[in-house]
Amino acid sequence: MSKKVAFLQGNEAAAQGALYAGCNFFGGYPITPSTEVAEVMSVELPKVGGKFIQMEDEIGAMAAILGAALAGSKVLTSTSGPGLSLKQELIGYGCIAEIPCVVYNVMRGGPSTGMPTGPSQSDVMCAKWGTHGDHPAICLVPASVQETYEEVIRAFNLSEKYRTPVMVMPDEIVAHMRERIVFPEPGEIEVLPRKSPTVPPEQYKPYDTSFGDVPPLASFGSGYKFHVTGLNKMQDGFPTTKAEVVQAEEERQVRKVDANADDIITFEEYMLEDAEVVVVAYGSTSRSARYAVNVAREQGIKAGMFRIKTFWPFPDKQIKALAGKVKGFVIPEMNLGMCSIELERCAQGKAPVLGIFRVDGEPINPDQIVEKIKEVK
C-alpha cells in the first residue's frame, strides 16, 4: 500500500507533524513568516477534538500553552523573532517549572522588526541564552520540508521525555519552500507519551528526584494536587531559598539535558571520510553547502560537510574530533557569526574557522562557499 504524498510548505508540514505527535492545543499570535502554522492548526485541531486559541499577544500565547500543558495537553506555539523575544520570560518559566511544550520559531531578519519577509539564522543563540538564568536548552534546525515534519515530532518527544520546552527553528527559506513530503503511517514514527506518576495522589511530589533527573508529571484535574511556581522550589513545588536545594535543583535541570546529549544530538555527515576541509552548516544554508562540497570535489579539493540538525545541545564532541583531523572549517550562516563562535570554542585552535556571514536577506550561494573553501590552506 502506497503512502500518502503531498506537496507542502515547511510551515504546513510543521503543523501536520505536530498533529502526528498528538498535539491537541495550540496557542499563538499571527506573525510573519510563521502564520501558516496557526492557520493550519486552526482548521485541523477542531477535527481531532483539540483546541486552538489566538491570544492577544505573544506573551499570552506562551502563557496559554504552559497552562494547557499542565492540564495534560501536548502543546505548540509558533512565532518569529520579535515574538520569540516577547515569549522569553515565560519560556524561562517553562524551564524552571519543567513544563513540556514546543516552540516553533521561524528565523527572519532582525533585530527588532528587521526584515520580516527575509531569511535569517540569527535566533539560534536565543534558544540558549534568550531567557535569563541557567536553564536546559534543546533546539532543532531542520533543512527540508520533510525534515521539518519529522523534527517537530521529535521535538514533542524530547519535550515529554525531558520535561522541558523544546524549540524548532527553521529559517524563512525552509518555512516557506514547498517540497514533496511522504507522510508516515500511524505508529511508524514513535510518539512518546507523558510519564505519569505511579504513586498515590497524597504521596505525589512534582519534583521528586527519587525518580531521577526527570520526575513524572501529573496533570491538573487528574486527582493530583500540586504547586507550580517560577521561583526556585523544593520537591513539593513550593518556593525555597535554601542554598543547597537551589544549587542542586538548578544543576539537575541543566544536567537532565546535558547528560543526555548523545540521545538528543543529531547530525549528518557528508563526504567526511577523507575530508581536509569541512563545511559546517545548518538549515537551508546546508543545501548550498552540499552543492559546494560536490563542486569542490570536482575541482580536486577534499571537502566534506557536517550538518547540524540539533543546534542545542551543540555537537561539541563531534566538532572536537574533526578539529584534530582537518585543515580547517568553513561556516556559512545567515547571521554575523553565531555558530562560528561555537566552532572556535570546540576547535580549541586545532583548526581555523572561516566564516561566510550574510544578514542582507539573501541566501548564501554555493559559489561563495566554494571560494571560501579554497582559502583554507
Q: Which tens digit of pLDDT belongs to each residue from 134-186?
A: 999 999 999 999 999 999 999 999 999 999 999 999 999 999 999 999 999 99
Distance CA 58, CA 41 (A): 16
In this structure, what is the dihedral angle of CA atoms 133, 87, 100, 96, given to the nearest 10 degrees?
A: 20
pTM check: above 0.95: yes
Q: Would you state the pLDDT for residue 201?
A: 95
Share of the chain above pLDDT 70, in %: 100
Q: Would you state the pLDDT for residue 182?
A: 97
- Per-chain mean pLDDT for the chain: 97
Model confidence at 2, in pLDDT bands (50, 70, 90)? confident
Q: Would you state the pLDDT for residue 52?
A: 98
Q: Would you state the pLDDT for residue 197?
A: 95
**What Cα–Cα distance (Å) separates residue 86 from each residue in 81, 83, 187?**
9, 5, 36
Taking alpha carbons only, the member of 303, 297, 53, 309 closest to residue 174 is 309
Collapsing DSSP to helix, strand or coil, 61 comes out as: helix
In the numeric block, which cell numbers belong to residue 15?
503543523
**Would you say domain 5-182 falls under CATH 3.40.190.10?**
no
By DSSP bridging, strand 139-140 and strand 101-106 are unpaired
Model confidence at 1, in pLDDT bands (50, 70, 90)? low
Q: Would you state the pLDDT for residue 286?
A: 98
By DSSP bridging, strand 75-80 and strand 51-54 are unpaired
Judge whether 234 and 276 are in contact, CB under 8 Å: no
Q: What is the pLDDT of residues 19-76, one digit of tens each?
A: 999 999 999 999 999 999 999 999 999 999 999 999 999 999 999 999 999 999 999 9
Q: Does the fold of domain 268-373 match that of domain 5-182?
A: yes
Cell 514547498 found at: 178
Domain limits, the chain: 5-182, 201-262, 268-373
In the CATH hierarchy, which top-level class contains the domain 268-373? alpha beta
In the numeric block, which cell numbers belong to residue 160?
515529554
Give the residue ranges of DSSP H helices in the chain: 10-20, 35-44, 58-70, 81-97, 124-129, 145-162, 172-176, 243-258, 261-264, 285-298, 316-323, 338-347, 366-373
Distance CA 293, CA 300 (A): 11
CB atoms closer than 10 angstroms to residue 190 = 8
Q: Would you state the pLDDT for residue 377?
A: 82
Average pLDDT score over residue span 118-142: 96
Q: What is the pLDDT of residues 74-87, one digit of tens each?
A: 999 999 999 999 99
